[in-house]
Amino acid sequence: MASWCVRAVKQSYSVVVSSPAIIRASPRLLCTAAQQKSGQGSEEDQNAEQSAAEKVLAEEKGQLEEQLKEVTDTENLRTRSQKMVEDTKLYGIQGFCKDLLEVADILEKATESVPSEEVSSQKNPHLKNLYDGLVMTDKQIQKVFTKHGLVKLNPDGGQKFDPYEHEALFHSPVEGKEPGTVAIVTKVGYKLHGRTLRPALVGVAKAP
């Protein structure tokens, strides 16, 4: 019995060895299996590398966004600081200008209080000289105001009322004036570099 089994094994081995198809197929099968295993490993490596690259890109993007935010904040701070410095230069004399406006008002009232016939006549040369001096002083102070950006607000009759530049003391029907326009100016105003320093005091016409 044992000898028969040995002979059967030898015959089977001889068939396998003598069969060229089996011999040729076996290395191919082994190679295919190895390639499949290698392909699976390469795909996993590629996925891992891609995930790592995406993670690095995300981190770099976050860092760039943080840096951009810091640069933007710094630029905004610089702009605000520069604006504050410029405003300080422009409007730092605001309080001083307000005090000078009272002087200009007094000069204007003084010149307006002198009767024109007294000035034009030669009966009182001293009064005329005083009047001329006041007029020259008023003109000079207005030149100084203009030099430093201080401009007079003296709305003409018929100009539309502007709440940013005018202050209404009263509203009254005025013949020949359209409603909502300046009818009379009781006190001139001033603007400093485009900003209203003192609104003009006016009376506003309204519908009858």
Report pLDDT for 182: 92
Per-residue pLDDT, averaged over 19-37, amounts to: 47
Whether residue 135 is predicted with pLDDT greater than 50 in this model: the reply is yes
Report pLDDT for 68: 85
pLDDT single digits (tens) 190-203: 999 889 999 999 99
pTM for this structure? 0.58
Report pLDDT for 39: 53
Report pLDDT for 77: 82
**Contact indicator for 153, 190 with CB cutoff of 8 Å:** yes
Q: How confident is residue 38, by pLDDT bands cut at 50, 70 and 90?
A: low
Phi (first) and psi of residue 76, to 5 degrees: -65, -40
Whether residue 41 is predicted with pLDDT greater than 80 in this model: the reply is no
12-21, 91-100, 174-183: range with highest mean pLDDT: 174-183
Between 117 and 34, the higher pLDDT residue? 117
Whether residue 158 is predicted with pLDDT greater than 80 in this model: the reply is no
What residue ranges do the domains of the chain occupy?
Answer: 50-91, 94-148, 150-208
Between 113 and 47, the higher pLDDT residue? 113
What's the mean per-residue pLDDT of the chain? 78
Q: What percent of the chain has pLDDT over 90?
A: 24
Residue range 150-208 forms a domain whose CATH class is mainly beta
Neighbours of 120 (CB within 10 A): 9
CA distance 26 to 23: 6
Per-residue pLDDT, averaged over 44-64, amounts to: 79
CA distance 198 to 188: 8
Between 3 and 141, the higher pLDDT residue? 141
CA distance 165 to 96: 20
**Contact indicator for 102, 198 with CB cutoff of 8 Å:** no
CA distance 197 to 189: 8
